[in-house]
A = this chain, B = another copy of it.
Amino acid sequence: MSNKDIFIEKLKASGLRPTKQRIAICKLLFQRKDTFHFTINNLNNILKNSSVEKISLATIYNTIHVFKKKGYLKEISINSYKSYFDTNVTHHHHFFNESTNEIIDLKDSDVGKIKIKKVIPGKKIKTIEVLVKIENSN
């Protein structure tokens, strides 16, 4: 199965028709080796330059939100200034480099077991997310 076919599958599974705009977005997001952290604004800039297709902002927002709902993308909360998305949808954690505003993935296995000693009656833990803020060590 070609990459393009995989993208078409992803789109169909998300209830979206495979259009050239959406396929261009898929290429940008999923045709890469490493995980990709991005903002909508990032995506828009890259697509404006790289892609042959002219893709409107509304289409980008739409597609990203559907992928997020479907679980093909994760949204990361680092700070209130920007909204980041992540192509790594496995359970994992993040470094945030406060000197450069760069996000780096931290594998689940790179974080030791976390013990939560407080229990909230009637609630159960759904997920534990760790954000490690780093800065230049000089």
Q: Which residues of A contact B (CB under 8 A)?
A: 75, 77-80, 83, 95, 97-99, 104, 106-107, 109-118, 120, 122-138
Contacts and interface: CB of A to CB of B under 8 A. Distances in A.
> Could you say how many copies of this chain the assembly holds?
2
B78 A77 contact: yes
Contacts of A99: 123
Contacts of A79: 75, 77
B116 A132 contact: yes
B125 A104 contact: no
Contact of A117 (B97, B98, B111): B111
A128 B118 contact: no
A112 B114 contact: yes
A98 to B, nearest CB: 7
Contacts of A112: 113-117
B116 A106 contact: yes
